[in-house]
Structure 1
Amino acid sequence: MASFHHLGQSNAPIPHQALHKLSTRYGPLIHIFLGSVPCVVACTPETAKEILKTHETSFCDRPKLAAVDFLTYGSTDFIFAPYGPYWKFVKKICMTELLGGRMLDQMLPVRHEEIRQLLQFLLKKANARESINVGSQLIRLTNNVISRMAMNQRCSDDVDEADDVRKLVQDIAELTGKFNLSDYIWFCKNLDLQGFGKRLKEVHKKFDAMMERIIKEHEEVRKIKKETGEGDSVKDLLDILLEISEDDSSEMKLTRENIKAFIQNIFVAGTDTSAITMEWALAELINHPPIMEKAREEIDSVVGKNRLVQEPDIANLPYVQAILKETLRLHPAGPMFPRESTKSCTINGYEIPARTRLFVNVWAINRDPNYWENPLEFRPERFLGTEENGQNQMDVRGQHFQFLPFGSGRRGCPGTTLALQLVQTSLAALIQCFDWKVNGTVDMEEGISMTLPRAHPLICVPVVRLNLFS
């Protein structure tokens, strides 16, 4: 058992790192009081399996956090909504209308077009020998893909305004991931000792204004189509959500706030995480030139040097797939995911009361030396059939509890398939088309957020390897 002050004593100020250090001292299941809130932290695959598989129904809720609750219109979103009929309803919408196989197939040209636009931008920068902030460009890519899938438009084609939108998404991810005293110390509940209040209000106001503009545009188009009798052959997610909100016979009544919160989830979960994963992968490849070269050889042998790698090629690129898995192992986009128990249960022989907060430390689990040889080493080969450890058969979808990059169970990430399609294809294209010039080696220091950003941006000068746009 540990207490709130132990985190401050750790040499690692980042929560998942600090809790990992505590687990090496106190064991695989830590009971810790964060202020007045009882919490347990699962830091090993065995403990995670017992919680997420054996006792999954006891841990289907998310904790209610002040910043999240404010930004998501009272937790009326999808990611943080309480487990129950409403959550099941919006998950069904998400999986059928945005992330199902039919929709993902329909949106393949969108993903392809946005990847090509990114590569053409990089080509211009390479010809001018100008450096770029890789993370910012990857956020632009993922933001455009998600925006076009959800709302059939980019948030903005104006460069400055589009940058503001991307900054807004990053701010939301950062604010929801910060440790807020009011969530854990009862007498701080109505105090803003850390100064979050003002920034939360500014971010919420900006997001709400953006969503109001987009919703009104959609409503106007829908009104014109209705008056003219024009058919709705292609509907985006926002159109479908608006239809449901207007349908009195719907299984659940969606409010305007529900729609805004839902779209916010799609933006933050779909753009920030995928971009961060690609940035970490590229940083690792720059630091490991032989691995980069091996990936290029595989792409050249399968695709050739006369056309751009495409999404259907990925099935024939096992080493590229292994690079992504190894990136997700060392740099999971969600380093810890929170749950809350709805009823008491027994874990590892300990009684866990209802309303206890749970943190599954994915970052620590993915580095467990009992399951991973040389766990701190970036070695994609561990996921190929060349090593007799069974890891080549390891999937990312939460069935192997020593490897949980997308969570597990009912509240695991619903966007896994989309993330794999977009990230693998984009990363393969970046490897195929460019070398990346940096000063020395790339530092691998982590930042603090709900996701796992880099502490320092990856700044590179792209150097053309193959120009496939001539």
Structure 2
Amino acid sequence: MAFSNYQYKKNSRNIVFHYPSSMFPSTIAILALFLLLIFLYIISTFLRPNNQTKHPHKRPPGPLGLPIIGHFHLLGKLPHRSLYSLSKKYGPMMSLRLGQIPTIVVSCPEVAKIFLRTLDPKFANRPKVQVSDLIFYGKDMAFGEYSPYWCDMRKLCNKHVLGAPKITMFGPLRRQELALMVKSLQEDAKLGEVVNIGEKVHGLMKEIVYKMIFGRSNDDEFDLKGLVSQALNLVGEFNLADYVPWLGAFDLQGITRRTKEISEALDKALEKIVREHEEEASNAQKEGHHRDFIDILLSLMNQPLEDGQEHGMERENIKAIALDMILGSYDPTIIAIEWAFTELLRNPRVMKKLQHELETTVGMDKMVEEADIPKLNYLHMVVKEILRLRPIGPFIFRESLEDVMVNGYYIKKKTRILVNLWAIGQNPKIWSDNVEEFYPERFLNNDVNINGNDSQLTPFGSGRRKCPGMLIGLITVNLVLAQLVHCFNWELPHGMTPCEVDTSETFGLNLSRSKPLLVVPTCCVLV
């Protein structure tokens, strides 16, 4: 696949685009533009009548911002950490201005509960993001506005992919693919190979997701997972065009250009898949055979999804929803398992305790089954602790649908809400003074669950926008983590010690490790 005007490099985990330096504006031009914008902002501020510069209602406290960019300069490379530090000074409900967009940062569970549950109908929207409109056709669930169409799409996905009956139906597929990965790791163990655990889980999830959604094995012609990862990285960037819309035409960060190129590649891959399904559906022999998710979506084309609703299923809807399913299936599972292994390797005591539970509960002569998962209490504590200490998504994003008062503060329509899950997980008033320690036992006599009802631990969100793939995500993470810990002992390569394990993060829509996690498996049990 050829792309003009830039170089294209492909590896097993992502797609990287390298742009020639001539494509970006010069530093002098950007500086001159910025100074001009500051001048215009100051002039417009002084000329504005006083009764328009103030609002009679009280707003949450916050730091002083700069002209044009507001508080962008305070975000830093890891905004979840920077905003947590600011919240210690300005409080758990902090007011910022990102560009032209008023923003509220929430850093405590009590206030988070108000936005995500108590006043959920008033904050059911997610902010409109330029990148998502370009990549997901403006018709997806993950970033789409709350509407009858959004509700219909969610019901459709729950019915045909994410609901409990479908999750049970795909159980044999997960078991089969997991057994193949274990065999591959056994070969690596015999040879003493150093393996990238993220790559192994990536290969597993790629096969499972392809077969669940597309009804077939991975097509190597298009690295769909790599393209989606690149798209997610772009969605996770703080794009100036989303916060200062009139700067969008300049594309100062190059995000629009990159997004269009990745969007074209994604569309080409998805169009090929949809076209193949259309050709197969025209074959009479397909009648009576199992239909995958794309077949079901195609059968609904040009039909109203619900009685009385005008919207229907079109080609772009199918591709957008397929991308939604991939988005929710790939990266979150891989990232959670990578972080789990990171902390287990850094804490051998926890690893041994988890292995002991698996030995006594499951036994040493068989694979871990999904039916075993509910009995593995310490495993559940390990997963909860990972989601507290290393939340996959550091923020929950919402947007107010109307003017509203919260805790005596005025929140106007279209204000963006950032619930800082990472900050809540680091709060010593909730989790005690050892918040930075990986300590699963904190959940021993703690009935906190992660289904969205307890605001101190909501890794999948809460309310109307709670992640619809929570159930299948938890089953997959628990099963894969349990099986790998049960079948193998794990060592660090090159004589590394637990305290030398790298824990640096890469900020984006998901909070992933900045470097691959390399480990050495040794066979513990033969399967």
Give the TM-score taking structure 2 as reference length: 0.83
Picking from 207, 213, 235, the partner of 1:144 is 207
Give the 3-state SS of the residue equivalent to 1:319 in structure 2.
Answer: helix
Match of 2:80 in 1: 16
Match of 1:169 in 2: 228
Q: Would the alpha carbon gap of residues 467 and 60 (structure 1) be closer, same or farther in structure 2, given more than 3 Å must change? A: same
Match of 2:281 in 1: 222
Match of 1:244 in 2: 300
**2:440 is equivalent to residue 384 of structure 1:** no
Which residue identity does 1:239 align to in structure 2? D
Q: Would the alpha carbon gap of residues 443 and 5 (structure 1) be closer, same or farther in structure 2, given more than 3 Å must change? A: farther
Give the 3-state SS of the residue equivalent to 2:300 in structure 1.
Answer: helix
- 1:43-62, Cα deviation, whole Å (9 max, x unpaired): 10011011112211110011
Give the 3-state SS of the residue equivalent to 2:298 in structure 1.
Answer: helix
**Contact conserved, 1:366 with 1:404, CA < 8 A, in 2?**
no
**2:171 is equivalent to residue 104 of structure 1:** no
Shift of 1:436: 2.2
5+ residue gaps, structure 2: 1-61
Match of 2:107 in 1: 43
Give the 3-state SS of the residue equivalent to 2:505 in structure 1.
Answer: coil
Match of 2:254 in 1: 195
Q: Distance in 2 between matches of 1:249 and 1:397?
A: 28
Q: Distance in 2 between matches of 1:235 and 1:326?
A: 38
**2:207 is equivalent to residue 153 of structure 1:** no
Picking from 208, 232, 239, the partner of 1:180 is 239
Match of 2:491 in 1: 437
Match of 1:232 in 2: 288
Q: How does 1:57-456 map to 2 (within 5 A)?
A: 57-73=121-137, 75-156=138-219, 158=220, 161=221, 164-225=223-284, 228=285, 230-247=286-303, 251=307, 252-373=311-432, 374-385=434-445, 391=446, 393-438=447-492, 439-440=496-497, 441-456=500-515
Shift of 1:117: 1.6
**Contact conserved, 1:173 with 1:272, CA < 8 A, in 2?**
no
5+ residue gaps, structure 1: 386-390
**Contact conserved, 1:61 with 1:339, CA < 8 A, in 2?**
yes
Report the number of matched residues. Answer: 453
Give the 3-state SS of the residue equivalent to 1:371 in structure 2.
Answer: helix
Match of 1:388 in 2: none
Which residue identity does 1:410 align to in structure 2? R
Shift of 1:241: 0.8
- 1:233-291, Cα deviation, whole Å (9 max, x unpaired): 42221111111114367654111111111111110111100110000001100000010
User: How well do the aligned residues superpose, as a CA RMSD in angstroms?
Assistant: 1.6
**Contact conserved, 1:140 with 1:166, CA < 8 A, in 2?**
no
Give the 3-state SS of the residue equivalent to 2:514 in structure 1.
Answer: coil
Larger radius of gyration: 2
Which residue identity does 1:32 align to in structure 2? L
Q: Distance in 1 between matches of 2:252 and 2:483?
A: 46
Q: Would the alpha carbon gap of residues 93 and 205 (structure 1) be closer, same or farther in structure 2, given more than 3 Å must change? A: same
Q: Distance in 1 between matches of 2:74 and 2:133?
A: 30
Q: Would the alpha carbon gap of residues 193 and 265 (structure 1) be closer, same or farther in structure 2, given more than 3 Å must change? A: same
Give the 3-state SS of the residue equivalent to 2:316 in structure 1.
Answer: helix
Identity %: 36
Shift of 1:5: 5.8
**Contact conserved, 2:77 with 2:507, CA < 8 A, in 1?**
no
Match of 1:25 in 2: 89
Which residue identity does 2:444 align to in structure 1? L
Greater mean alpha carbon deviation, residues 314-323 or residues 237-246: 237-246
Shift of 1:6: 4.8
Which residue identity does 2:330 align to in structure 1? T
Give the 3-state SS of the residue equivalent to 1:98 in structure 2.
Answer: helix
- 1:81-121, Cα deviation, whole Å (9 max, x unpaired): 11010001001101111111111111000111111121112
**Contact conserved, 2:333 with 2:473, CA < 8 A, in 1?**
yes
Shift of 1:351: 0.7
- 1:427-446, Cα deviation, whole Å (9 max, x unpaired): 00110112222223311111
**Contact conserved, 1:334 with 1:405, CA < 8 A, in 2?**
yes
Shift of 1:7: 5.2
Q: Would the alpha carbon gap of residues 456 and 249 (structure 1) be closer, same or farther in structure 2, given more than 3 Å must change? A: closer
Give the TM-score taking structure 1 as reference length: 0.93
Which residue identity does 2:87 align to in structure 1? S
- 1:118-155, Cα deviation, whole Å (9 max, x unpaired): 11121222222222221122122222222211111233
Q: Distance in 2 between matches of 1:294 and 1:378?
A: 13
Q: Would the alpha carbon gap of residues 421 and 248 (structure 1) be closer, same or farther in structure 2, given more than 3 Å must change? A: closer
- 1:378-410, Cα deviation, whole Å (9 max, x unpaired): 11111123xxxxx2x111111001111111011
